[in-house]
Structure 1
Amino acid sequence: MPSDTAHPDRSRQKGDPVRSIWRRIFRTKPVGEIIAEGGHGEGGELKRSMSLTQLTMFSVGATLGTGIFVILGEAAPLAGPAVVVSFLLAAVTALFSALSYAELAGTIPVSGSSYSYAYATLGEVVAWVCGWCLLLEYAVSVSAVAVGWGQYLNEFFGQSTGWRIPAALSGPPGIDGGVVNLPAIAVVLLATVLLLRGASESATANAVMVVVKIGVLLFFCVIAFTAFDSDNLTPFAPLGMAGLSAAGAKVFFSYIGFDAASTAGEEAKNPRRDLPLAILLSLGIVTLVYVLVALASVGVLPWQRLSGSEASLAKVLEDATGSAWPSVVLSLGAVVAIASVVLTVLYGQTRILFAMSRDGLIPKVFQRVSPRRRVPAANTIIVSAFVAILAGLVPLGRLADATSIGTLFAFAVVNVGVIVLRSTRPDLPRNFRTPLFPLTPILGVLFCLYLMVNLDRQTWAVFAVWTLVGLAAYFAYGFRRSRLAQAAGACRPH
């Protein structure tokens, strides 16, 4: 019988079980193994069909949603006309994390995004917590977005035809006479049908929606600039740097979603080249649109009149034209914008679950690939059904706000991952390298931590409870069933 000294892990397990458990939960998955498994699931492999344009549109589609339609009315009272600079400040903050995502997406081009990057650099339990947080962020946020889609659809119908969906069919139980939110369920089902048809078909539909919503926002800018008054820009920063920074923190969350392309690593035609470009291009496009919209808005209306209005852009158009019809066009743009977000976020959720299932951390059903369409069909149906129930029947309330912390945690993990991988695997081919390393990822971590610390107690409470539930699930299932654990067990002598 082989001695324990021939098997150091076994010896440590007998001598120091705490250290053994510690080593097991922080075991990392070799980068080569992660890449080799890319695209493969139970029953087949995913289809590489997405171009650079489609990947860029995916990230734009996930980012450019309800934020710009409502955030201006919340941020302008904090910064005044300098809210334009606040959008640039938030973009720079997002850029630090975007650069880290770009490097890791080009180095480890797989479906799992930040979950897979964490598995390769920081260990299994960190990857699990990262994936678990993204489950909350994706599922709850897309449900909330679907609810918002119903509200904007009602607004569009009301402005264009005078008819509105009855309250009983446009809200969850207990909210303003609601029974079931049918529009929210409908947009989730529509996205599901597109996703089941294939990744390329979904990407094409999303690209069309992105073109429409960017077109609507550019239409807004053209109309607004006809009534631009430079006097509205003075004083430019009435509330000083403190107000400008506070508005920057507020609008930062409008940039969440630029990482969506990284979840398509196994369906991109040329992932090592295209994923980094798609992430950075999408951030640039979204920033340009945000800055133009913000500048047009504060140039038409005094910033005090933008305060607290969810229809702030509609107010700008009405003031610029003296007519209500441009608001109808804007409402249509919001409907399309939100539908695009539902599609892209649902896609990202299913691909992260696909990667987690392939690693053995969740049941195998999530990695089964449809032979005909070459998409994770069962995964997509399960996730969409869950999201549709949340959106249609559950009052989400402030829980949707708590999802931001999970995203910031994932961003911080990716920034740390770049530093770790540069140290442990400097030999890996990197099509894109984060500039000014290690300053850039360090600043990315610090900005994420700063924004996390400034979130309210309720958000932290939800995050803490969700993390504890996730750790319990990991130790009950994934700790022993993960493929790394199974491989280690197979290597032990009997």
Structure 2
Amino acid sequence: MTSSHDAPAPGPAASRPGDTGRPPARMAGHLRLPGALALAITIVVGSGALVSPGIAYHQAGPSALYAWLVAAAVTVPLLIVFARLGADLPGAGGVAGFVQAGFGRTWAAGVEVLLLGTFGLGIPAIALTGGFYVQQIPGLHAVPAWAAALALLALAGTSVAIGGSVSSRIQIALALVMTAGLTAAAVLGLSGGDPAGHLPPAELSELTVGVMALGAVFFAFTGWEMLSFTTEEYANPRRDFPRVVVISFLTVTTLYVLLAWAVQTQLSEDDPKAASAPIHAVVSAVAPGLAWVVSVLGVLIIAANLVGAVWAASRLVMSSAREGLLPRPLARLSTAQGTPPRHAVAACVVVFGAMVLATLSDTLSLSVLLTVAGQNFFLLYLFSAAAYGRLRTGARRAFGAGTAVVLGLLALTFDPLHLAYALALLLTGYLVARRRQAPTASVPA
């Protein structure tokens, strides 16, 4: 991760491998608006869209629709922060890079460890969701979800390792298919029932019930913080990153509300299918003959989501290795087009695969993984807002500080054990960085 004052300016020399065949120092600037927008949609829309509508509905009943609307409203100021910071501070460090620019290396290290611990829960959850959808495909019911999840992780890692330019073209095609398919599923669910009769009552008490499901829902609005780790690869981050944030937010918010409304229209809140494959259950209720199409679409969505997630996670690992928090070999780039950090990609796939296997015990569940990861990502927005306020002046500083305070108050509604997990990760990184800096500080100039 590099701060804005020491990062080389984007340009031909920084965006392609050197002529000597040696690995370049920075990622290639190959992402333009279409590819960056496709990557944003496939990073954000994934297991959250496929599972969270059912989990929130189970927790809050019809009031769950309020959770989606509140999450979207809360996300707006956060995305303003991300759009500006991502444009001004492009780099593989993402959120940690923002914190480093605002509060220094020790706090950035804490955020890096928090991110690593969050990716370590969220990305395996995405893979497991894909495994459940694989089981819904005719003829594949006997395939263990964990085995399918490992296969999807391996495919995602391979796609990222072959190079960013190739991966972005794959993401464009997948983004078009998944957006069209999910929109069709939502419209089908709404047209096959009485959607107006399943709206939540317009009462403050119902709104409060919906807000209590914010932790489960917010995971579906995570992804832009992952996207921030790819800005080093933008050809023109200052121009394109804000555009990508705005367009992708409008697209996915509309899609989420339609899907959540369709789930509430077609399913009962205690339906067991609502907690594992709600979109599949919605289409099965209206058009049973098309259920297999939803299963295949679900697998494609998860595959696309995993490519984006592994892409972002590997950039975080690479950036942390550059800073010395992780082993230096993980920062090594290849000489392939897009200069992927293949060591970092491989490390991510191995760790995430191990977490998938850990869910075979009774100590972890898909719901827990999604909820904890979603709440941790929420805290990352808080840190970004604080960094924004620190780096700005006047009204923009007040905006950043105010946003951070509001997010802090909302975070108090999270499970105390989940908050303790996030705090332990943050302090671990902070203390490790402080300890490594101490000897250096004692050496006379």
TM-score, length-scaled by structure 1: 0.78
Give distance in 2, aligned partners of 1:473 and 1:223: 52
- Indicate which of 278, 284, 292 corresponds to 2:244: 278
Per-residue CA deviation, residues 25-82 of structure 1 (Å, 9 max, x unaligned), is: xxx9753114559879993132111111222222221221122222222323565545
- Indicate which of 341, 348, 370 corresponds to 2:312: 348
Which shifted more, 236-245 or 116-125? 236-245
Per-residue CA deviation, residues 168-216 of structure 1 (Å, 9 max, x unaligned), is: xx26xxxxxxxxx332221111111111111121122222222222222
Q: Does 1:213 align with 2:178?
A: yes
**Equivalent position SS for 1:397:** coil
Q: Does 1:59 align with 2:40?
A: yes
Give distance in 2, aligned partners of 1:300 and 1:144: 25
Q: CA RMSD in A?
A: 3.1
Give distance in 2, aligned partners of 1:77 and 1:453: 22
Please tell me the residue identity of whatever aligns with 2:364.
G
**Equivalent position SS for 2:232:** coil
Q: Does structure 2 conserve the Cα–Cα contact (< 8 Å) formed by 1:76 and 1:303?
A: yes
User: What is the count of residue pairs matched by the alignment?
Assistant: 430
Shift of 1:235: 6.3
State the identity %. Answer: 20
| Other-structure match for 2:5 | 32
Please tell me the residue identity of whatever aligns with 1:397.
L
Unaligned runs of 5+ in 1: 1-27, 172-180, 427-435
Which shifted more, 181-190 or 69-78? 69-78
Q: Does structure 2 conserve the Cα–Cα contact (< 8 Å) formed by 1:232 and 1:298?
A: no
Please tell me the residue identity of whatever aligns with 1:366.
L
Shift of 1:104: 0.5
| Other-structure match for 2:332 | 368
Q: Does structure 1 conserve the Cα–Cα contact (< 8 Å) formed by 2:30 and 2:234?
A: yes
Q: Does 1:479 align with 2:426?
A: no
Give distance in 2, aligned partners of 1:59 and 1:362: 27
| Other-structure match for 2:396 | 437
Give distance in 1, aligned partners of 2:358 and 2:56: 31
- Indicate which of 296, 309, 330 corresponds to 1:332: 296
Give distance in 2, aligned partners of 1:318 and 1:252: 26
| Other-structure match for 1:3 | none
Please tell me the residue identity of whatever aligns with 1:153.
V
Per-residue CA deviation, residues 297-344 of structure 1 (Å, 9 max, x unaligned), is: 4445576769954333333323323xx222212222221121122211
- Indicate which of 240, 256, 259 corresponds to 2:222: 256
Give distance in 2, aligned partners of 1:267 and 1:74: 35
Give distance in 1, aligned partners of 2:23 and 2:155: 25
Q: Does 1:161 align with 2:139?
A: yes
Give distance in 1, aligned partners of 2:347 and 2:34: 29
Give distance in 2, aligned partners of 1:113 and 1:190: 24
| Other-structure match for 1:227 | 192
CA 1:140–1:235 in 2, change beyond 3 Å: closer, same or farther?
A: closer
CA 1:318–1:369 in 2, change beyond 3 Å: closer, same or farther?
A: closer
**Equivalent position SS for 1:243:** helix
Per-residue CA deviation, residues 216-239 of structure 1 (Å, 9 max, x unaligned), is: 211212322432425523663475
TM-score, length-scaled by structure 2: 0.86
Q: Does structure 1 conserve the Cα–Cα contact (< 8 Å) formed by 2:390 and 2:397?
A: no
Q: Does structure 1 conserve the Cα–Cα contact (< 8 Å) formed by 2:187 and 2:258?
A: no
Please tell me the residue identity of whatever aligns with 1:141.
G
CA 1:356–1:304 in 2, change beyond 3 Å: closer, same or farther?
A: closer
**Equivalent position SS for 2:324:** coil
| Other-structure match for 1:421 | 391
| Other-structure match for 1:178 | none
Which shifted more, 447-456 or 56-65? 447-456
Q: Radius of gyration: which is bigger?
A: 1
